[in-house]
Amino acid sequence: MEKNTSNIPELPGEKGTEHGYCNLSRLRMYYEISGSGTPLVLVHGGGSTIDTTFGKVLHRFAQSHTVVAVELQAHGHTPDIDRPLSFEQDADDIAALLQQLGISGASVFGFSNGATTALQFAIRHPDKTHKIVVASTIYKRQGAPAWFWEMIGQASFEGMPQLYKDAFLKINPDPDALYRMYERDIARMQDFPDITESQMRAIKAPALIIAGDKDVPTAEHLVEMHRLLTGSRLAIIPGGHGEYIGEITTRQNPVLVAATVLLVNRFLDDDFL
């Protein structure tokens, strides 16, 4: 394992955060560790970084958990390599990272694409999965309305939120790397691979499903996921895609964010009503 902490700023308000890289075969994967308690992995959404997805809530989870926040292949600090992007590979990369860090198992909180990765982590590495928090995602194409797939099919780099572009370029000033990340993420979504119902039913880790009532997944799909994941809990929260965790492109609502943090922590700590 290689660690490199030079020239990497600490998270706002978060002291004593460990920053580093792990060499996972060919991938040099970036991670941040903060807090103490039971391990919790945070997996950002597509086109995002740790800070753009979880910057408003990471320090709150670190008050009661050892938070391992990651940046996936081609995102943020983690460079791209010559291999396809897949949710399965992302899940395997996280498992390999945890092994190198000496963490035998963890709960996983994934947002959007990161939540699809969390589902794959629970499917592919059940022995390492304590609990999963699956936020604003689908497990099959039919879970999102037609307008979403039309938007993905007509997507352009110019339409990528400027906040995401700025966050990436602040970390990596190479515009070609930014464009390549965008191309890879869009291609993966255009060819979104369904998870089968039998794979979903095979997930035995306790699951909390979260989404906004004006989110990408339909309410019907969220209920379907809830029924497939045995013993799962479902929370549909007022707001749009990621608004409940203060994701960078959303309207900021501190009260909603605080309520979501409390909800997730109670689920993780077995104190869920």
Burial of 108-128, coded b for 16+ CB within 10 Å and e otherwise, reads bbbbbbbbbbbbbbbbbbeeb
> What number is the average pLDDT over the span 134-141?
98
pLDDT tens sequence across 49-95: 999 999 999 999 999 999 999 999 999 999 999 999 999 999 999 99
* Ordered domains of the chain (ranges, CATH): 18-268 (3.40.50.1820)
Among 91, 79, 2, CA closest to 43: 91
Q: Decide the pairing of beta strands 18-24 and 27-35.
A: antiparallel
How far is 144 from 61, CA to CA, in rounded Å?
29
pLDDT tens track for 122-132: 999 999 999 99
pLDDT above 80: residue 7: no
Report whether pLDDT(4) > 90: no
Contact 66, 36 (CB under 8 A): yes
pLDDT digits (tens, 9 = 90+) for 165-223: 999 999 999 999 999 999 999 999 999 999 999 999 999 999 999 999 999 999 999 99
Q: What is the pLDDT of residue 25?
A: 86
**pLDDT at 13 > cutoff 50:** no
**Cα separation, 26 vs 46, whole angstroms:** 21
d(CA 127, CA 223): 26
In this predicted structure, the answer to whether residue 259 has a pLDDT above a threshold of 50 is yes
